[in-house]
């Protein structure tokens, strides 16, 4: 079942250690087949050097395992909420990459300070409110997805224009049209977080990119008249 998607999600998961985005098993990637209403996700706690495409677990949009001999990632309920809440996305990544986690632990947005950020994220990458004691004690991973969704709705952020979030005191989630694109956005977020950290160390003044420069760099890659790259 979904053998091509399993292979794609496996390859995307293997990009996490290759891109230095995970330590040990601290990360996962999933990808969805919207027509079938099923997604494929990394199994829980399996080390990357042991991981195989056939280990990927198939899950439905109720969060139930449809196929697979291994337990799916413990973050599966978060992925389930996001796939239901943001129907445009085709892949999701969660990591504990250190620069993005630093902002999450500080409960700070990753600010849009320059063109590197603006090429992928149309504005600051938001940080969620902390989960409450009750949200943590019961349905923790599901409530993680819900607080992400709530953040984008409350702040009126387009999740396609800003395909990333920091869960307060936890870490980053990113997404994209495919699992591969979600991994790409995870690496971009990590690099932008590192750049933002160093910028903030150099100056305490507000160095947010201007709206017109943000517009230029975002829309030249993502707008209807985009001209970056090859046709």
| pLDDT reported for residue 39 | 98
CA distances in angstroms from 2 to 132, 173, 177, listed in the order given: 37, 24, 17
d(CA 60, CA 27): 20
- When pLDDT is cut at 50, 70 and 90, the band that residue 221 belongs to is very high
By the 8 A CB rule, do 165 and 172 touch? yes
Count CA atoms closer than 13 A to 141's CA, side-chain side: 11
Per residue in 15-36, pLDDT (tens digit) is: 999 999 999 999 999 999 999 9
| pLDDT reported for residue 204 | 86
Section 47-71 average pLDDT: 97
Share of the chain above pLDDT 70, in %: 100
Residue with tokens 């409530």: 143
| pLDDT reported for residue 142 | 98
| pLDDT reported for residue 24 | 96
| pLDDT reported for residue 163 | 98
Per residue in 86-114, pLDDT (tens digit) is: 999 999 999 999 999 999 999 999 999 99
Coil, strand or helix: which one is 24? coil
For residue 31, how many other CB atoms are within 10 A of its CB? 30
Does residue 155 have an active-site annotation? no
Structure tokens, 89? 């996305």
Catalytic residue among 33, 55, 119, 215: 119
186: enclosing H helix or E strand: helix 179-202
| pLDDT reported for residue 100 | 98
Section 66-80 average pLDDT: 98
Residue with tokens 């994209």: 176
Per residue in 119-164, pLDDT (tens digit) is: 999 999 999 999 999 999 999 999 999 999 999 999 999 999 999 9
Say if residue 231's pLDDT is above 90.
no
166: nearest Cα among 97, 76, 77:
97
The fold adopted by the segment(s) 3-222 is: L-fuculose-1-phosphate Aldolase (3.40.225)
Does residue 119 have an active-site annotation? yes
Section 71-79 average pLDDT: 98
Catalytic residue among 129, 155, 158, 228: 228
Mean of the per-residue pLDDT values for the chain? 97
């Amino acid at each position: 079942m979904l053998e091509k998607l399993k292979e794609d999600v496996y390859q995307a998961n293997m990009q996490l250690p290759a891109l230095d985005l995970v330590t040990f098993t601290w990360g996962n990637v999933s990808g969805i087949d919207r027509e079938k209403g099923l997604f494929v996700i990394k199994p829980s706690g399996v080390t990357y050097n042991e991981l195989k495409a056939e280990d990927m677990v198939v899950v439905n949009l109720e969060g139930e395992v449809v196929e697979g001999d291994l337990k799916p990632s413990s973050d599966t309920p978060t992925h389930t909420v996001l796939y239901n809440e943001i129907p445009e996305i085709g892949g999701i990544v969660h990591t504990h990459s250190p620069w993005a986690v630093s902002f999450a632990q500080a409960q700070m947005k990753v600010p849009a300070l320059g063109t590197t950020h603006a090429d992928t994220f149309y504005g600051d990458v938001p940080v969620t409110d902390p989960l409450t004691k009750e949200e943590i004690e019961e349905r923790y991973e599901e409530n993680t997805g819900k607080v992400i969704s709530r953040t984008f709705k409350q702040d009126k952020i387009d999740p396609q224009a800003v395909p990333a979030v920091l869960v307060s005191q936890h870490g980053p989630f990113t997404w994209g049209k495919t699992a591969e694109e979600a991994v790409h956005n995870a690496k971009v977020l990590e690099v932008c977080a590192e750049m933002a950290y160093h910028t903030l160390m150099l100056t305490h003044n507000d160095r947010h990119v201007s709206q017109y420069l943000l517009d230029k760099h975002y829309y030249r890659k993502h707008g209807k008249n985009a001209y970056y790259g090859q046709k």
